């Protein structure tokens, strides 16, 4: 199994998908030419626009973006895919569409067979057992929160330590602590922006210039660096 799970698509002040593009190229390698793109997290723009936006960046690293929304037989498109790319946006919207089209299990099966999977933001959320640690507003109601279950822990993309001045609501850490109270046996990895997880078989490493923050019920949160071995989470 090969996964590249990216916290965010765009760093502040940079072009869309610019910072992770070389990591994506290193991950996909030279043999892959065409990628199957899942644009279903896009809400305020069309899937055509989304695919075109990703293609603009993928042109720079040498891959064709073939969006699944253009395929009549979507299951067959997954079965024939060389790599699966899942874009960010609203996680609930994407999961509802994937479930309605019966695509969760075909994607999971294909990735477990070994084809590379790249996701950012919502695309990283759906690699987890559930989407219960997404930051997104539930604008639609999926049949279930259960998703691909490619990794046995939860990711919180865009993880923030900040508690803005004058903000009296819960911090991100407090929200995660609520999740752990209700899901005591599940770990949560706060993935800060500009970072990603590279998973290959039973090994996992953090890429980027920031640490990740690990949450487990009954334990103090732990900072993990890019020099640490993350494989114990698998």
Which residue out of 66, 69, 124, 136 is catalytically annotated?
136
Residue 158 designated active-site: yes
Residue 187 designated active-site: no
Query: The tokens 């199957």 sit on which residue?
Result: 36
Q: How many CB atoms lie within 10 A of CB 20?
A: 24
Contacts 24+ apart (CB under 8 A), 99-106: 99/142, 99/143, 99/144, 100/143, 101/74, 102/75, 103/68, 103/74, 103/75, 103/78, 104/147, 104/148, 106/75, 106/78, 106/79
Residue 48 designated active-site: no
Which residue out of 71, 158, 187, 228 is catalytically annotated?
158
Which residue out of 7, 9, 121, 124 is catalytically annotated?
121
What backbone phi and psi angles, to 5 degrees, belong to 34?
A: -120, 135
Residues labelled catalytic: 121, 136, 158
């Amino acid at each position: 199994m090969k996964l590249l799970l990216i916290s965010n698509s765009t760093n502040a002040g940079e072009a869309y998908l610019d910072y992770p593009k070389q990591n994506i190229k290193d991950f996909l390698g030279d043999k892959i030419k065409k990628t199957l793109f899942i644009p279903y997290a896009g809400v305020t723009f069309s899937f055509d626009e989304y695919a075109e936006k990703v293609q603009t960046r993928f042109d720079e690293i040498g891959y064709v973006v073939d969006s699944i929304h253009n395929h009549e037989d979507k299951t067959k498109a997954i079965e024939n895919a060389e790599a699966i790319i899942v874009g960010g946006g609203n996680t609930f919207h994407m999961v509802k569409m994937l479930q309605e089209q019966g695509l969760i299990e075909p994607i999971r099966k294909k990735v477990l067979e070994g084809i590379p999977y790249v996701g950012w933001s919502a695309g990283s959320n759906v690699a987890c057992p559930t989407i219960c640690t997404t930051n997104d507003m539930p604008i639609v109601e999926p049949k279930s929160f259960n998703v691909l279950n490619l990794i046995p822990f939860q990711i919180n993309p865009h993880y923030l330590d900040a508690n803005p001045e004058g903000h009296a609501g819960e911090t991100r850490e407090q929200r995660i602590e609520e999740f752990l109270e209700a899901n005591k046996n599940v770990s949560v990895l706060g993935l800060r922006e500009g970072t990603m997880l590279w998973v290959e078989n039973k090994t996992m490493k953090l890429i980027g210039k920031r640490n990740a923050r690990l949450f487990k019920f009954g334990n103090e949160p732990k900072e993990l660096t890019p020099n640490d071995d993350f494989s114990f989470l698998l």
